[in-house]
Amino acid sequence: MVKILLLGLSGDSGCQIAAVGLHEKLLKLLSDNELVYAPTIMDAKEIPSQIDVAILEGGLRTQHEVETVKKIRKNSEIVITLGSCACFGGVPGLANLREGDTLLERVYLEQQGTIPGPLPIVDKLLPKQVPISSYIKVDYIIPGCPPEVNDIAGTLTTLLSGGIPELSQTDVCEKCPRDRVGSYSKKLKRIYDEVADPKRCLLEQGFLCMGPATMGGCGAPCPAAGMPCDGCRGPTIKNSDQGLTMLDALTSLTGEINENFNLPQHIGILYRYTYPASNLAKLFKGGNRK
Using CB under 8 A as the binding rule, the residues of this chain from 193 to 232 that contact other proteins are: 193-196, 221-222, 224-227, 230, 232
Q: How far is CA 189 from the centre of its chain?
A: 25
In whole angstroms, how close is the CB of 136 to other proteins at the nearest point?
A: 17
| Contact residue for other proteins among 111, 157, 185, 252 (CB under 8 A) | 111
Q: What residues from 126 to 155 belong to the interface with other proteins (CB under 8 A)?
A: 129, 145-146, 149
In whole angstroms, how close is the CB of 265 to other proteins at the nearest point?
A: 6
In whole angstroms, how close is the CB of 183 to other proteins at the nearest point?
A: 22
Residue 232, C-beta contacts closer than 8 angstroms, at least 6 positions apart: 84, 143, 144, 145, 214, 272, 273
Closest CA to 258 of 246, 268, 274: 246
What does the buried/exposed string (b/e) look like for 267-276 if buried means 16 or more CB atoms within 10 Å of the residue's CB? bebbbbbbbb
CB 215 within 8 A of CB 206: no
Q: Does 11 bind other proteins (CB under 8 A)?
A: yes
Q: Does 21 bind other proteins (CB under 8 A)?
A: yes
Q: Does 106 bind other proteins (CB under 8 A)?
A: yes
In whole angstroms, how close is the CB of 162 to other proteins at the nearest point?
A: 25
CA distance 10 to 129: 8
Q: Does 268 bind other proteins (CB under 8 A)?
A: yes
In whole angstroms, how close is the CB of 42 to other proteins at the nearest point?
A: 4
Residue 269, C-beta contacts closer than 8 angstroms, at least 6 positions apart: 208, 210, 230, 231
Identity of the residue numbered 25: K
Distances, alpha carbon 41 to alpha carbons 36, 76, 234, in Å: 11, 20, 28
Q: Is 235 helix (H, G, I), strand (E, B) or coil?
A: strand
Q: What residues from 73 to 102 belong to the interface with other proteins (CB under 8 A)?
A: 90-92, 94-95, 97-98
Q: Does 264 bind other proteins (CB under 8 A)?
A: yes
Closest to other proteins by CB, 16 vs 76, is 16
Q: Does 121 bind other proteins (CB under 8 A)?
A: yes
Q: Residues binding other proteins: what is the number (CB under 8 A)?
A: 82
| Contact residue for other proteins among 71, 187, 190, 282 (CB under 8 A) | 190
CB 125 within 8 A of CB 61: yes
Q: Does 104 bind other proteins (CB under 8 A)?
A: yes
Closest to other proteins by CB, 1 vs 195, is 195
Closest to other proteins by CB, 123 vs 256, is 123
Q: Does 42 bind other proteins (CB under 8 A)?
A: yes
Judge residue 1's burial from the number of C-beta atoms within 10 Å of its C-beta, 0-12 exposed, 13-18 middle, 19 or more buried: exposed
Q: Does 65 bind other proteins (CB under 8 A)?
A: yes
Closest CA to 61 of 213, 288, 271: 288
Q: Does 167 bind other proteins (CB under 8 A)?
A: no
Q: Does 281 bind other proteins (CB under 8 A)?
A: no
Q: What residues from 227 to 256 belong to the interface with other proteins (CB under 8 A)?
A: 227, 230, 232
